[in-house]
């Protein structure tokens, strides 16, 4: 199974691949949240 290179951005990283049946898939990794930044939200 071939997997794409990791595509990185500020809001997450992705890899893409197709299974043997031809279905396309994406795997996403989100960056860790800094919960201290969330304190100002209601």
Half-sphere exposure of 11 (CA within 13 A, CB side): 0
Helix (H, G, I), strand (E, B) or coil at 35: helix
The pTM (predicted TM-score) of the whole model is 0.65
- Flag whether 38 is in a domain: no
* Closest among 12, 37, 15 to 26, alpha carbons compared: 15
- Flag whether 24 is in a domain: yes
Residue 17 belongs to domain spanning: 1-30
| pLDDT computed for residue 38 by the predictor | 61
- Flag whether 11 is in a domain: yes
- Flag whether 39 is in a domain: no
In sign, the C-alpha dihedral spanning 6, 20, 22, 27 is: negative
pLDDT tens digits for range 1-42 = 889 999 999 889 999 999 999 999 999 999 887 776 665 555
Number of domains in the chain: 1
| pLDDT computed for residue 31 by the predictor | 87
In order of 16, 17, 21, 27, the CA distances from 6 in angstroms are: 8, 11, 22, 10
- Flag whether 42 is in a domain: no
- Flag whether 2 is in a domain: yes
């Amino acid at each position: 199974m071939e997997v794409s290179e990791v595509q990185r951005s500020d809001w997450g990283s992705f890899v893409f691949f197709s299974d043997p049946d031809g279905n396309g898939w994406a795997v996403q990794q989100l960056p860790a949240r800094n919960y201290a930044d969330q304190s100002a939200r209601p």
